[in-house]
Amino acid sequence: MIEQALRTSSLLVISLILLILLLAATHVGRIIGRRRRDRTEDKDASSLATGMLGIFALLIAFTYSLSLTRYDTRRSMVLEEANAIGTTANYALMLPANRKAAILPLLDRYTRLRIDLGSPYEDRFHVRNDAANATLTRLWKEATALTAEAPQSLPAYRFVSALNEQTNIAEARITALRNHVPILVLIVLSVIAMVSLGFAGFASGLAGFDRYVGLTIMAAAITMLIAMTIDLDRPNRGSIEISKQPLIDALDALPKQ
DSSP H helical ranges for the chain: 2-8, 11-35, 45-92, 97-115, 123-149, 154-178, 183-207, 212-232, 245-253
- Confidence (pTM): 0.83
Domain boundaries, the chain: 2-253
Q: Rg for the chain (alpha carbons), in Å?
A: 27
What sign results for the dihedral spanned by CA atoms 27, 28, 34, 38? negative
Listed residue (170, 226, 225, 218) closest to 196, CA to CA: 218
What is the pLDDT tens value at each position of the chain, 257 positions in all? 666 777 777 888 999 999 999 999 999 998 888 887 766 555 566 777 888 889 999 999 999 999 999 999 999 999 999 999 999 999 999 999 999 999 999 999 999 999 988 766 677 788 889 999 999 999 999 999 999 988 888 999 999 999 999 999 999 999 998 888 889 999 999 999 999 999 988 888 887 777 788 889 999 999 999 999 988 888 666 677 888 999 999 999 998 76
Q: Please, what is the Cα angle at 75 between 70 and 78, to 5 degrees?
A: 130
